Amino acid sequence: MFKKILVPIDGSAEAIAAITYAREIAEKFNSTITVIHVIQHPAYLTSDSHPLLIKSLDERGNEIIAQALTYFKNFEGRVETRIEYGHPGIKITEISKEHNYSLIIMGRRGMSDIAKLLIGSVSNYVLHYACCPTLVIQDTDY
């Protein structure tokens, strides 16, 4: 049923909760899990103008992936990782479609109404535009 599960992460407690859910589902369905972190470089950055800041964002992305992998110790299934660049919601939905994921499991960060209005919600975007079922984890008390 869920052969391929995509788990977008951002280093938050909610993302870790999503990993926990994904692992349990993958164990039941013998699924492959792909953990993805999308780095959104600020629009004003170019590789020439701010190389140290870009390097810092990239290093942080690698740290987030490494932290996520610690939750897969003794996991007998297959885990893949990806780091992508761009708008997180758009990248997640594009990749889920291009690679035929059967389920997306992601955390929901509690944003104020003002923050949602100004920058939008990645989980809300994915819920509206994903081509496969999406499970959004709201509670970190798992």
DSSP secondary structure string for all residues of 54-84: HHHHHHHHHHHHHHHHGGGTT--S-EEEEEE
pLDDT (0 to 100) of residue 106 = 95
pLDDT (0 to 100) of residue 118 = 45
Partnered with residue 34 across adjacent β-strands are: 6, 80
Residue pair 9/36 in contact (Cβ under 8 Å)? The answer is yes
HSE of 27 in the Cβ direction (CA atoms, 13 Å)? Answer: 11
Helices (H) and strands (E) in the chain, counts: 5, 5
Residue pair 104/133 in contact (Cβ under 8 Å)? The answer is yes
Amino acid at 129: Y
Question: Rounded distance, CA 135 to CA 40, Å?
Answer: 23
> What are the structural domain ranges in the chain?
4-137
Helix, strand or coil, per DSSP, at residue 104: strand
Q: Which two tokens stand for residue 12?
A: 């938050």
pLDDT tens digits along 34-87: 999 999 866 655 656 667 777 888 899 999 999 999 999 999 999 999 999 999
Amino acid at 72: F
pLDDT tens digits along 87-100: 999 999 999 999 99
Q: Which CATH superfamily is domain 4-137 in?
A: HUPs (3.40.50.620)
